[in-house]
Amino acid sequence: MLTIDRLTVEHLGHGCVTDNPNPRFSYTLNGAADDVVRDVTLTVGEWTVHPDTSIATPYDGPALTPFTTYPVTLAVTDAQGVTVTATTSFETGRLGEPWVGTWITDGDYQFTEKKVSPKPMSFRRTVTLAAGKTVARARLFATAMGVYEFALDGRKVGDRYFAPGFTSYKTNLQYQTYDVTDQLTNDGANSDANDDATGTHTLIATVAGGWAVGSFVFTRVNRVTADRQALLAELRIDYTDGTSETIGTDADWDVTMDGPFTMADLYDGETYDATRAFGPDGNAGGAHWRKASIERPKTTPKHIEADYGAPVREHETFAPISCKRRADGEIIYDFGQNFAGVVRLDIANAAAGQTITVRHAEILNPDGTLNTTFLRTAKATATYTCVAGNQSYAPRFTYMGFRYIAVRGIEPKQLTVTGVALYSELTRTGDFACSDERLNQLQSNIVWGAKSNLFDIPTDCPQRDERMGWTGDIAVFAPTACYDFDMGRFLDKWLRDVKAEQLPTGGLPNTVPVQGYGFPATMPEMAIAWWGDAVVLVPWAEYQARGDASVLERMYEPMKRYVNACRFWAGLFGFGKHRYIWWMPTPFQFGDWIAPDVPKMQQWQARGKWTGTASLNNTARTLARVARVLGHDDDAREYDALADRVADAYVSVFTDGDGRLNDEFQTAYVLPLHLGMFPDAATRTKAVNNLAALVERNDYRIGTGFPGTPYILFALADNGRPDVAFRMLTNERCPSWLYEVKMGATTIWERWDGLDEHGECPIGDDGTDLMISYNHYASGAVGAFLYQRIAGIEPIEAGYRRFRVRPLVGGGLTWANGHVDTPYGRVGSAWSITGDRFDVTVDVPFGTTCALTMPDGTTHELTAGTHTATCTL
Ligand code: BGC
């Protein structure tokens, strides 16, 4: 019998508030292979449609009205006439409706200091409900220049962190919608001090500098978007008698700089003085409130739109696995997991005015103290001043990347510490496990690398003074992220900014949103291989996973402009085949970034002509595929032809024409092998054997940088050398994935040699700007290999309507399990080996077909259901 497993609006099962005039609806059915769907009816308010796909049907009915809840019903009828239904709802936001409120600030606050963040600013408004009326519906809409949090009668409104989120503020700013109906009682039911029988309530917003005003990027620039914080909010109250009232931010609001938060900075941490806490109505703590001023921030975002991303929230919590008090009184806690987030302090019997400091770090020095060298300028310190008695505190306007903390100012017996992981709200869609515990730890490290860096935007790292949207990192990691999580909303949001930041000539900045570090967008034509490639590779990865071609439509023009810019740079000053070799470091290349076989930054960058040329082949080929999906056949032919010419040039210029590189290094073989650039099977085989020999000479250790690492195992395994791929994957000698695991890593490191065999960091200032992060997801891109080759799960058609399961046996593994929650339901592959017998169980979701290929080469066509198959190895 058919059932409906999932019904979503804009990727959300519930709670969607949207300004998209055409929100997208998706559903997942469950049923047996012989179940037949006779009819699907989707009803949204007054509009009804019979969708021909379960993925992302856009609303196409009468124009949606703002501030309205729309019921959504899905009815599915089978061949016997049995109908099942599922319901959800969504709410429209402002849909362009002008704000009643206006931007407000503290007009007296002149913030001119450099390289730091402004003092947090607080705003207050007392709201008195109409006498004798009952609130039917109340919504608070809010956004800020800075990051803000609202409290209503002393209680935090909503559960997200860092609202309104990080976007390219010139173009895009999100606002949040909070349902405050239940808090706005008119009968004294909320017995807070300030909520009396007359229905008086107090709204207090605190706005810290965040990305828009605070110090950000490694140069610590500040005031990029606005000179000081500003707030824009509106409270809309509908009463049960049909009347309404709207209260917007204006000069009637109060403002103060005297709140309990005395410092908040994304890198440096937070300082909170509980003796200055406001209390529910803002009258405790001694703050001097005065009237707010109307503000005109120096940046006016083109679009202020209801949240469309994946907001940061609290997730896992960690109790410490050890606590050591040092002779100097500092207490060192180890949470056993590196992660991004904050620490919660539960404090007993404090004295008023007692001050506690908490420093954070990823690793310890040999003497057991925190090693904070690699945080560079980030102070990563929380400082809390207590009131008398018991209390709790956790920072709200900063976050850190850490495993260890060092606490001063309190006795261990008075303190309970809890690590709180913060990251974007993402539905987990996949997992992988196998008989080798080390690979399971690797999978966990990959997932934690992702959780720590999918932080409203895709960041490079969560600890040092960067945490920026480096395009190259997500360009290579996106396919793995899309196995582990439903990345739909997260990537949609970030890609809007990629589009916004692109220059008309096609160049893309290295970090998106730009926010203080614009290179190379400051030089308009610039295109940088592999980093800029994100504009092509990220939408493609998302499309493969979720099957929603609208992301390709939205990004098609930006993709084309970018690939055209790359073609221009490659062709500059070149003749003949050299027109397709990105031969000069023009305009600039990161090359084989972080390749461990050449330790110097200049050596990584010097490989730019190989990596750049292969990038042009890859983006042109991918763009041709995109063009074909969208029906742009002429473009498809044009970019395929470009990709062919680039491949031919690569092979002609860089190899002897017989599968050997003139200058050999791993990435230079990996890319043409993985991207199919060699002209025939014979040359390919020679090339893979040359790569294998190179890897063997390197004791099966990694020699690839960012562009090669994601693909090296595929390049080997898919071209006949899975033996070498598995030896490399299971190698424990540095540099290798399992060396990190052997050394106790709980996340993916930026540098393979981050710790030596004694567990100490061997790298000082070696000319790489102290770039030693222990939480960088890029080389975790190997995760795709675990899913696609070892478990063997891979879409044939985007979104998995048709997919393959083709397990790759090797590495001494005796079993492996992988699953992926696709738009059609769960795909599973679980295999085991007993003697020379291979057994596999495959889960095929309703509405899909699976091509199963066994290790002996036999194939099976599978339809919905759970299937087992056996062969002899
Ligand atoms: C970041 C990298 C990034 C790189 C670009 C680094 O500082 O942490 O991950 O892609 O710069 O070169």
- CATH of residue 17's domain is 2.60.40.10
> Does 130 share its domain with 33?
no
Mean pLDDT confidence for 440-458:
98
| pLDDT tens digits for range 115-168 | 999 999 999 999 999 999 999 999 999 999 999 999 999 999 999 999 999 999
Look at residue 277 and tell me if it is in a domain.
Answer: yes
Look at residue 471 and tell me if it is in a domain.
Answer: no
pLDDT at 265 over 50: yes
C-alpha span between 612 and 618 (Å, rounded): 10
Q: Which residues contact 545 (CB under 8 A, 6 or more apart)?
A: 429, 482, 483, 487, 795, 798, 799, 822
Look at residue 668 and tell me if it is in a domain.
Answer: no
Write the CATH number for 866. Answer: 2.60.420.10
Comparing CA positions, the residue from 318, 254, 321 lying closest to residue 283 is 254
The pLDDT of residue 197: 52
Distances (CA, A) of 367 to 363, 760, 776: 11, 10, 26
- Ligand 1: residue of 470, 508, 528 to mutate (most ligand atoms within 8 A of CB) is 470
DSSP type of residue 528: -
> Does 206 share its domain with 334?
no
The pLDDT of residue 573: 80
Please report which helix (H) or strand (E) contains residue 833, including its range. strand 825-834
Question: Residues 735, 752: contact at Cβ < 8 Å?
Answer: yes
Look at residue 733 and tell me if it is in a domain.
Answer: no
Q: If you take atom 3 of ligand 1, which residue's CA is the nearest one?
A: 470
Look at residue 803 and tell me if it is in a domain.
Answer: yes
Question: Residues 820, 842: contact at Cβ < 8 Å?
Answer: no
> Does 276 share its domain with 416?
no
Of the pLDDT bands very low, low, confident and very high (cuts 50, 70, 90), residue 522 is low
The pLDDT of residue 525: 58
Q: Which two tokens stand for residue 247?
A: 């209260």
> Does 196 share its domain with 266?
yes
> Does 282 share its domain with 325?
no
Instruction: Find out whether the peptide bond into 513 is cis, omega within 30 degrees of 0.
Output: yes
Of the pLDDT bands very low, low, confident and very high (cuts 50, 70, 90), residue 504 is confident
Total Cβ atoms within 10 A of residue 809? 18
> Does 141 share its domain with 263?
yes
The pLDDT of residue 188: 56
> Does 279 share its domain with 327?
no
Mapped onto helix, strand or coil, the DSSP state of residue 845 is coil
The pLDDT of residue 769: 76
Look at residue 475 and tell me if it is in a domain.
Answer: no
> Does 199 share its domain with 303?
yes
pLDDT at 519 over 80: no
The pLDDT of residue 190: 47
| pLDDT tens digits for range 368-385 | 999 999 999 999 999 999
pLDDT at 194 over 50: no
678 CB under 6 A from ligand 1? no
Q: Are strands 16-18 and 83-92 parallel, antiparallel or unpaired?
A: parallel
For residue 706, which atom of ligand 1 is closest to its CA? 10
Mapped onto helix, strand or coil, the DSSP state of residue 579 is helix
> Does 157 share its domain with 281?
yes
C-alpha span between 595 and 50 (Å, rounded): 52
The pLDDT of residue 173: 98
Number of H helices, E strands in the chain: 14, 44
Q: If you take atom 9 of ligand 1, which residue's CA is the nearest one?
A: 460
Q: Are strands 69-78 and 83-92 parallel, antiparallel or unpaired?
A: antiparallel
C-alpha span between 241 and 590 (Å, rounded): 64
> Does 329 share its domain with 351?
yes
Beta strands in 240-302 (DSSP E): 244-248, 254-256, 261-265, 269-273, 290-291, 293-294
588 CB under 6 A from ligand 1? no
> Does 242 share its domain with 144?
yes
The pLDDT of residue 520: 63
Q: Which residues contact 300 (CB under 8 A, 6 or more apart)?
A: none
Q: Which residues contact 411 (CB under 8 A, 6 or more apart)?
A: none
The pLDDT of residue 193: 46
472 CB under 6 A from ligand 1? yes
C-alpha span between 34 and 25 (Å, rounded): 25
The pLDDT of residue 37: 97
C-alpha span between 279 and 259 (Å, rounded): 11
Mean pLDDT confidence for 748-756:
93
pLDDT at 492 over 60: yes
Q: If you take atom 11 of ligand 1, which residue's CA is the nearest one?
A: 470
Write the CATH number for 181. Answer: 2.60.120.260
Look at residue 579 and tell me if it is in a domain.
Answer: no
Q: How many domains does the chain have?
A: 4
C-alpha span between 748 and 736 (Å, rounded): 11
Total Cβ atoms within 10 A of residue 759? 11
Total Cβ atoms within 10 A of residue 444? 18
Q: Which two tokens stand for residue 738?
A: 């399992």
Q: Which two tokens stand for residue 213?
A: 């005003």
What percent of the chain has pLDDT above 70? 97
The pLDDT of residue 23: 98
C-alpha span between 831 and 814 (Å, rounded): 8
771 CB under 6 A from ligand 1? yes
Question: Residues 591, 665: contact at Cβ < 8 Å?
Answer: no
The pLDDT of residue 760: 87
pLDDT at 232 over 80: yes
Mapped onto helix, strand or coil, the DSSP state of residue 606 is helix
For residue 531, which atom of ligand 1 is closest to its CA? 10
Taking phi over 0 as left and psi of -120 to 50 as alpha, with beta for the rest, 117 belongs to beta
What percent of the chain has pLDDT above 90? 91
Q: Select from 307, 335, 352 the last residue of a domain.
A: 307
Mean confidence (pLDDT) of the chain: 95
The pLDDT of residue 527: 86
The pLDDT of residue 429: 98
| pLDDT tens digits for range 63-97 | 999 999 999 999 999 999 999 999 999 999 999 99
C-alpha span between 821 and 460 (Å, rounded): 26
pLDDT at 572 over 90: no
Mean pLDDT confidence for 34-55:
97
pLDDT at 765 over 80: no
Type of residue numbered 518:
G
Q: Select from 374, 409, 424 the last residue of a domain.
A: 424
C-alpha span between 472 and 588 (Å, rounded): 14
Q: Are strands 802-805 and 849-853 parallel, antiparallel or unpaired?
A: parallel
Q: Which two tokens stand for residue 540?
A: 């493609």
Task: Calculate how far, in angstroms, residue 750's C-alpha sits from the geometric centre of ligand 1.
Answer: 9
Of the pLDDT bands very low, low, confident and very high (cuts 50, 70, 90), residue 574 is confident
| pLDDT tens digits for range 654-676 | 999 999 999 999 999 999 999 99
Question: Residues 281, 202: contact at Cβ < 8 Å?
Answer: yes
Task: Calculate how far, in angstroms, residue 469's C-alpha sits from the geometric centre of ligand 1.
Answer: 9
> Does 346 share its domain with 367?
yes
465 CB under 6 A from ligand 1? no
C-alpha span between 461 and 450 (Å, rounded): 10
Look at residue 600 and tell me if it is in a domain.
Answer: no
Domain that holds residue 812: 795-872
Q: Select from 408, 424, 440 the last residue of a domain.
A: 424
Q: If you take atom 7 of ligand 1, which residue's CA is the nearest one?
A: 771
For residue 778, which atom of ligand 1 is closest to its CA? 9
Residue with tokens 């929230």: 313
The strand order across the sheet containing 849-853 reads: 793-795, 802-805, 849-853, 859-862
pLDDT at 192 over 60: no
Alpha helices in 331-469 (DSSP H): 437-453
The pLDDT of residue 44: 98
Q: In this predicted structure, which of 186-190, 228-232, 492-496, 831-835 has the lowest mean pLDDT?
A: 186-190
